[in-house]
Amino acid sequence: MKVKISSISYHLPEKTEGLDDLQRDNPDWDMPKVFEKTGIRTRHIASSDQTASDLAYIAAEQLLCGTQIRNQIDLLILVTQSPDYLLPTSACILQDRLRLSQNCMAFDINLGCSGFVTALGIAGGLIESGVVNTGLILCSDTYSKYISEHDRACRPIFSDGAAAILVERTAIDCMGPFDFGTDGSGFEHLIVRRGGARETIKLPGYSQPTLEMHGSDVYLFTMRVVPACIVKLLARAGLSSDQVDLFIFHQASKLVIDSLIRLMSLDKKKVFLNHEFIGNTVSATIPIALRDAVENGLLTTGQTVVLVGFGVGLSWSAVLLRWAM
C-alpha cells in the first residue's frame, strides 16, 4: 500500500503499580518468580473515573496539538475492549470531543492485542482505495478495571494506556503484506463474561465484569500460530528474517517473547522490548513500542519492521512496514 504512518503519540496514566504493591496485597506471591515470567516491574493504572476514551483523547490531543491536520482527518478508528458504553461506539464520542470534521467515518474495533495491525490494514485499505484520505487510529484499553487485585495471572501483566497514530497516503509502497488469522474455538481462554448481551446485567446484585485468562492456553496458541504467521508473511514479501531490521511483537510478557525468539532463532538485538516499565497495554503495545523504537534510534526511515499482534479472540495479525516516519 502507498500508505504510511506519519506520527505516533501515546499516553500512560500517572498512577503506577510496582512489584512492591503486588507483594503488599498478596503476601503469598513469589515475586521473583512472577517477575521472571512477566519481565514487568511497573504498570500504569487509570483512575477510577478515567476511561479508555479519556486516555485516547489525551494521546490524540498530544498528536494533533499545533498541527493543521485536525480538519483533514476523515477516518477515526478506536481499537478498544473497554468502551465507555455498550452503545454508542466510543469513536463517535471522540469525533466530537476531538473537534474532528463531521465528514468523518468513525467506528470502534472490538479487538485487543491484534487490534492495531487490523486497524492499520483497514485504514490503509480505505485510504488506498480513495474512500478516505487521512486516518487517525486510537488504541486504548483499561483492563485494570476488569482485574481482581488477587488475580495472579492477570494483575502482574496488564497495564492501562493509549496510543494515537496518524495514517496518510504517500508516494511509495510502505505497508504490506499483511497476514491475519482467527481461532474462535479458544474464545473462552481470555474473556470478560459480564456486561454483554449474552449474560445480561441484572440490578441489584450486579457484579463487576471480571477478566478471566487461561494463560497456558493463550501461550500455547501463540507458540503455534505466530512463527507460522511470520514465515508466511516473509514468504509473501520475498524476504528472509535476516533482511528484517526490527521485529516488534505485542508486548505480552518476557516469557512469551523470549519463547518466540527461541522458536524462530531470531537475533535478540532485532527484537524490540519495552514492557519492563510499561506493562502489557493490550491494543496499544505495538504503537507505543514503535514510538519508543524511533525515539531510541532503533528504527529509522527506510528500514524494514515486522509488527505482530496476537491474543484475545483468539486472533493474530502481522504486517511488514518500510518505515517512512
pLDDT band of residue 102 (cuts 50, 70, 90) is very high
Residue 110, all three cell numbers: 472490538
* 110 given a catalytic annotation: no
Residue 221, all three cell numbers: 496458541
177 contacts: CB under 8 Å, gap ≥ 6: 233, 236, 237, 319, 320
> Residue 308 gets which letter from DSSP?
E
* pLDDT one-digit tens code per residue, 119-174: 999 999 999 999 999 999 999 999 999 999 999 999 999 999 999 999 999 999 99
pLDDT at site 206: 54
Burial class of residue 206 (count of CB atoms within 10 Å of its CB; 0-12, 13-18, 19+): exposed
* pLDDT one-digit tens code per residue, 245-300: 999 999 999 999 999 999 999 999 999 999 999 999 999 999 999 999 999 999 99
Separation between Cα atoms, residue 204 and residue 292, nearest integer Å: 45
* 103 given a catalytic annotation: no
Place of cell 528472509: 240
Measured at the CA of 90, the angle between CA 85 and CA 92, to 5 degrees, comes to 130
Choice among 11, 104, 113, 154 that is catalytic: 113
pLDDT at site 108: 98
Question: What count of Cα atoms within 13 Å lies in the side-chain half-sphere of residue 242?
Answer: 0
Nearest-CA neighbor of 108 among 127, 124, 90, 125? Answer: 90
Q: Is the peptide bond before 204 cis (omega within 30 degrees of 0)?
A: yes
Contact 134, 166 (CB under 8 A): yes
Place of cell 458504553: 85
* 139 given a catalytic annotation: no
Contact 175, 151 (CB under 8 A): no
Burial class of residue 181 (count of CB atoms within 10 Å of its CB; 0-12, 13-18, 19+): middle
Residue 91 has pLDDT above 90, yes or no: yes
Choice among 44, 104, 154, 280 that is catalytic: 280
CATH 3.40.47.10 assigned to domain 3-173? The reply is: yes
Backbone angles phi, psi at 113, to 5 degrees: -70, -25
Choice among 44, 189, 250, 275 that is catalytic: 250
- Collapsing DSSP to helix, strand or coil, 178 comes out as strand
Place of cell 488506498: 128
Give the mean model confidence (pLDDT) for residues 90-111.
97
Residue 300, all three cell numbers: 529509522
Assess whether the region 3-173 and the region 176-322 belong to the same CATH fold: yes
Superfamily assignment of 176-322 in CATH? Thiolase/Chalcone synthase (3.40.47.10)
Place of cell 496514566: 13
pLDDT band of residue 195 (cuts 50, 70, 90) is confident
Domain boundaries, the chain: 3-173, 176-322
Contact 234, 240 (CB under 8 A): yes
